[in-house]
Structure 1
Amino acid sequence: MAETFYQQSGSKQEQYQSLLPQIQALISDERDFVANMANVCAVLKQQFDWLWIGFYVVRGEELVLAPFQGPIACTRIAKGRGVCGSAWAQAQTIVVPDVNQFAGHIACSSLSQSEIVVPMLLGERCVGVLDIDSADLAMFDDTDAEFLQQVVAVLLASSDVPA
């Protein structure tokens, strides 16, 4: 396991392109889903220093808080509720430039201004979501969506995901 991370500069795309192989190396020898989610959070936090980076995993009809970095978070989110529950229900990435304009937004932190949520899909089954919040408006875009979906794919391919 490569337990070293090298922070990158450059464009957002260049940062992600450097980050993906580092994440792959970091988690490739570890199959534990929780451990790998934790290290992915740490790498993303170190690289981008967003307000909140974390995972929620599906447990029955709700998402339950999993590894994260940032302020205290909501523990459980119902399917279809807020950005996370909506991304889960729709099985698609949701980018929210201004969380105050998202109907039903769940404000775990009043500092959050924009958000991106990427569902973790194994075939048709959603096993959780990657949720990232920024203290800045309009922080996330299609580049983030594209690369964070790749991060999630690497995580899922490297981990034994509970049924």
Structure 2
Amino acid sequence: MFQAETYKGSKEEQYQLVIKQLKALMESETNRIANLSNASALLNQFLKEINWVGFYLYEQEKNELVLGPFQGLPACVRIPLGKGVCGTAAAERKTIRVEDVHQFPGHIACDAASQSEIVVPMIKAGQLIGVLDIDSPIINRFDEIDQSMLEQFVHALVEFL
């Protein structure tokens, strides 16, 4: 049974513990939806000052992202590649960190409370799987450490997908 641990130490050390918890949650589970659901719940429990965390999964035949497991308010269901922060991160296959979403051209506002956002693409064996999307009601919520550690989180996650 999973048990949340107390997060202590530096920001990096706290993220390392979350990645360790993620691996423990997924090591004996092969279902993609179950693993993505637990990953979003784990991040929602760990991260402070966020209002949405979840996944958009890539549908190659329609060249778009489709809403997957998440924690937060109901969200946009389909996002074309290249549109908004999620679609742009997926199309460019690189993490995008946005200090102020209102300054991002073509931002798709699913929750009016969102002020900043980070999107990390999920790539396995060179193939786009989807993106991890996290929104915050705080401007400039995500820094370089968040980006680096969330990229490590996603790297650990895709090993189990």
Partner of 2:106: 104
In structure 2, C-alpha distance between the alignment counterparts of 1:70 and 1:22, rounded to whole Å = 21
1:119 aligns with 2:103: no
Partner of 2:13: 14
How far did 1:145 drift?
A: 1.2
2:18 counterpart SS class? helix
1:6 counterpart SS class? coil
Deviations 1:81-124 (A, max 9, x none): 00000000000000001000100000000000000000001132
Equivalent residues in 2 for 1:68-87, closer than 5 Å:
68-87=70-89
Identity %: 47
Which consecutive aligned stretches of 4+ in structure 1 deviate over 3 angstroms post-superposition?
none
| Structure 1 runs not aligned, ≥5 long | none
1:126 counterpart SS class? strand
What residue identity is the alignment partner of 1:28?
E
Conservation of the 8 A alpha-carbon contact between 1:51 and 1:70: yes
Partner of 1:58: 58
Conservation of the 8 A alpha-carbon contact between 1:7 and 1:47: no
| Structure 2 runs not aligned, ≥5 long | none
Conservation of the 8 A alpha-carbon contact between 1:84 and 1:129: yes
How far did 1:127 drift?
A: 0.9
Partner of 2:28: 29
In structure 2, C-alpha distance between the alignment counterparts of 1:79 and 1:26, rounded to whole Å = 30
What residue identity is the alignment partner of 2:22?
I
Count residues in correspondence.
Answer: 158
In structure 2, C-alpha distance between the alignment counterparts of 1:98 and 1:147, rounded to whole Å = 21
1:100 counterpart SS class? helix
In structure 2, C-alpha distance between the alignment counterparts of 1:51 and 1:9, rounded to whole Å = 22
Conservation of the 8 A alpha-carbon contact between 2:101 and 2:116: yes
How far did 1:132 drift?
A: 0.2
How far did 1:9 drift?
A: 3.6
What residue identity is the alignment partner of 1:36?
N
**TM-score, length basis structure 1:** 0.93
How far did 1:158 drift?
A: 1.6
In structure 1, C-alpha distance between the alignment counterparts of 2:124 and 2:17, rounded to whole Å = 25
2:159 counterpart SS class? helix
Root-mean-square deviation over aligned CA pairs: 1.2
In structure 2, C-alpha distance between the alignment counterparts of 1:112 and 1:52, rounded to whole Å = 8
In structure 2, C-alpha distance between the alignment counterparts of 1:130 and 1:151, rounded to whole Å = 10
What residue identity is the alignment partner of 1:145?
Q
1:83 counterpart SS class? helix
